[in-house]
Amino acid sequence: MITGAGRAFCSGVDLKALAADRFHLEDFIAWEDAMTAMERMDALFIAAINGHCLGGGLQLALVCDYRLANADARLGLPAVKERLIPSMSLYRLPRLIGLARAQELILLGEPIDARQAERIGLVNRVVAPDEFEAELARTIERFLALPATTVAASKRLTRQAFDAGFDEFRRRMEKEFAACLASDEYRAAMELLRAERRGP
């Protein structure tokens, strides 16, 4: 689970560092390398968006697998106003919410509120501020209860859904399916099912 330490989830790059010439292309590339690594890990990431989620903050949220937002949160990609582009959000955001809505967020660089973000599919769920911590705990428990093998396989495959052709995707799916059938988790679940059917 990733969240902000204060009232913001993450407000992105330090503009003072940019202005002082202390943040360069290699720093942006290193940031994107970290985002790509997270995206490709089998582990699931939950973005607990507890406040402003702007620029690099939204880029971070986009590579998470589930986004829970506080109703007070605001989300946006202001890079164009800073004379920059929002890195690989240009690739990820249209796949998540569609081209037209992604272009609006990217080209205008204006933030939207959490409820609007939920309506367009940018976040999975929005909860009232006083319910946020409890709902986050419930969400974490739901994900922790899932079987690791099938979750990892499903994450790997869904991340490839827009990029692989149908036949290639099916080939990859069948390989992952075979791994699931061969897993200890699957065998244990089937043994439990058989025991339940046999009864006492």
Is the pLDDT at 98 greater than 70? The verdict is yes
Mean pLDDT of the chain: 93
126 contacts 69 by C-beta, under 8 angstroms: yes
State how far the alpha carbon of 140 is from the alpha carbons of 35, 76, 137, in Å: 21, 25, 5
Residue 200's pLDDT is: 65
DSSP conformation letters of 147-171: -HHHHHHHHHHHTTTTTS-HHHHHH
**2-144 falls under which CATH superfamily?**
2-enoyl-CoA Hydratase; Chain A, domain 1 (3.90.226.10)
Burial of 159 (0-12, 13-18, 19+ CB in 10 A): middle
Is the pLDDT at 39 greater than 80? The verdict is yes
49 contacts 69 by C-beta, under 8 angstroms: yes
Report the C-alpha gap between 73 and 65 in whole angstroms.
18
The mean pLDDT of 137-157, rounded to a whole number, is: 94
Residue 44's pLDDT is: 94
pTM for this model (two decimals): 0.89
Report the C-alpha gap between 136 and 48 in whole angstroms.
7
pLDDT band at 13 (very low <50, low <70, confident <90, very high): confident
Give the DSSP H/E element, type plus range, for residue 46: strand 46-49
Rounded to 10 deg, the angle between the 166-181 and 148-158 helix axes is 170
Q: Which residue has the higher pLDDT, 140 or 15?
A: 140
Q: Which residue has the higher pLDDT, 109 or 12?
A: 109
Pull the structure tokens for residue 1.
């689970």
Residue matched to tokens 């272009």: 103
Pull the structure tokens for residue 97.
């919410």
DSSP conformation letters of 82-109: GTS--TTHHHHHHHHH-HHHHHHHHHH-
